[in-house]
Amino acid sequence: TQGHAETLRTPIVAVLGHVDHGKTTLLDKIRGSAVSEGEAGAITQHIGATAVPLETVSQMAGSLVNPDDFDLPGLLFIDTPGHHSFTTLRSRGGALADIAVLVVDVNDGFQPQTLEALDILQRTGTPFVVAANKIDTTPGWNRQDGEPIQKTYEAQSKQARKRLDENLYKIIGNLSDEGFSADLYWRVQNFTKNIGVVPLSAITGEGIPDLLAVLMGLSQRYMKEEMEIDVDGPGKGTVLEVKEEKGFGATLDVVLYDGTVKEDETIVVGGANGPIVTEVRAILQPRPNAEIRTEKRFNRVESVSAATGTKIAAPDLEDAMAGAPVRVVRDRDLDEVIAEVEAE
């Protein structure tokens, strides 16, 4: 599978949804971290990126994901803020996504930013699944940590199951009101046509194996059909944040969604006073399963390929802007690349 892994690019999975519905906690559970606990006021204020290797996915998913069935190197998860003031960041995250997870608190149901996220997904034509989160808060719940949803369902009382089902059917009804045909995921045949709803808990991990299995299936299918791209080509990315880094000055946290970027290459970056032309001094890679927003121990590498979250150090990045494009020039005409960055 090594050869395959090099040809299919890592899919980008955006996690969207209303504030506090559990997006960051879900990613914390998958990557084994506690980013949510460290957040000021417990809300996410930036877009995050975490590369989760296939190995981690299959460990979390147990028998539901057999790594031999997939040519994908893993999944690149993009965390987005749910607070109403971060509309731009949600759109930016949505625009980067190949596929998405819409997180909905199963008790709270649809809320304003759930609808806003749906709108973004509809506009960008992004295939998505719904994670009906916090099933462990159902009264009388008998938690089955880390288990697939079928096993956890079987362990519940009739009452608890009924309460959960009522909430799940409300969510399916809301989706239908918005024009999406949706059902519980095990009844969905084609996830690009119908929306699958996956009941889960970001705290107990119940149902997360199911979510990962659906995401892997959807990604593999989507990447094969839509993403025959050349990961060796000149890199293209989007700036998440401009950050001071000791010894490097201003650096860029970037989601590289296409191609490769190498040390010493010339890049063009969108800046407050027009495009910046500069040379990559260092590429700093977060460790696998690390959130780029909180990572402290980056590994210096000579090159990286899409899709990944990476830190790029280069001179003259002080005026670079979050949301701006990053382009590797390589063998293309510099003026053309500058014009491309200006146009975006």
Q: Which residue ranges make up the site for Mg ion (CB under 5 A)?
A: 23-24, 44
d(CA 305, CA 257): 8
Q: Choose which of 98, 116, 136, 295 interacts with ligand GTP (CB under 6 A).
A: 136
319 is in an annotated binding site: no
- Nearer to Mg ion (CB atom), residue 82 or residue 146: 82
Please give the backbone phi and psi of residue 18, each rounded to the nearest 5 degrees, phi first: -65, 155
CB 324 within 8 A of CB 258: no
User: Helix, strand, coil: what percent of the chain each, to 5?
Assistant: 35, 25, 35
Pairing assessment for the beta strands 99-105 and 308-313 based on DSSP bridges: unpaired
264 is in an annotated binding site: no
In the region spanning residues 21 to 80, those forming contacts with ligand GTP, defined by CB under 6 A, are 21-25, 36, 42-44
- Nearer to Mg ion (CB atom), residue 44 or residue 91: 44
Other CB atoms within 10 A of residue 50 CB: 28
Q: Nearest Cα to 289, choosing from 112, 100, 60, 45?
A: 60
CB 209 within 8 A of CB 60: yes
Residue nearest to ligand GTP (CB): 82
18 is in an annotated binding site: yes
Give the angle 77-80-86 at the CA atoms, nearest 5°.
160
Q: Choose which of 10, 56, 133, 144 interacts with ligand GTP (CB under 6 A).
A: 133
Which tokens is 2 given?
């090594």
- Nearer to ligand GTP (CB atom), residue 99 or residue 106: 106
CB 89 within 8 A of CB 120: no
Q: From the list Mg ion, ligand GTP, none, which binds 260 (C-beta under 5 to 8 Å, kind-based)?
A: none
DSSP, res 63: G
Q: Which contiguous run of DSSP H or E holds residue 154?
A: helix 149-154
134 is in an annotated binding site: yes
Q: From the list ligand GTP, Mg ion, none, which binds 258 (C-beta under 5 to 8 Å, kind-based)?
A: none
135 is in an annotated binding site: yes
d(CA 292, CA 255): 10
- Nearer to ligand GTP (CB atom), residue 28 or residue 295: 28
Q: From the list ligand GTP, Mg ion, none, which binds 203 (C-beta under 5 to 8 Å, kind-based)?
A: ligand GTP
- Nearer to ligand GTP (CB atom), residue 38 or residue 315: 38
Q: From the list ligand GTP, Mg ion, none, which binds 136 (C-beta under 5 to 8 Å, kind-based)?
A: ligand GTP
> Is residue 202 at the binding interface for ligand GTP, with CB under 6 A as the rule?
yes
CB of 180 to Mg ion, least distance (A): 24
Q: How far is CA 21 from the centre of its chain?
A: 16
183 is in an annotated binding site: no
259 is in an annotated binding site: no
Which residues carry a binding-site annotation? Answer: 17-24, 79-83, 133-136
Give the binding site for ligand GTP (CB under 6 A): 17, 19-25, 36, 42-44, 81-83, 133-134, 136-137, 201-203
Which parts are annotated binding residues for GTP? 17-24, 79-83, 133-136
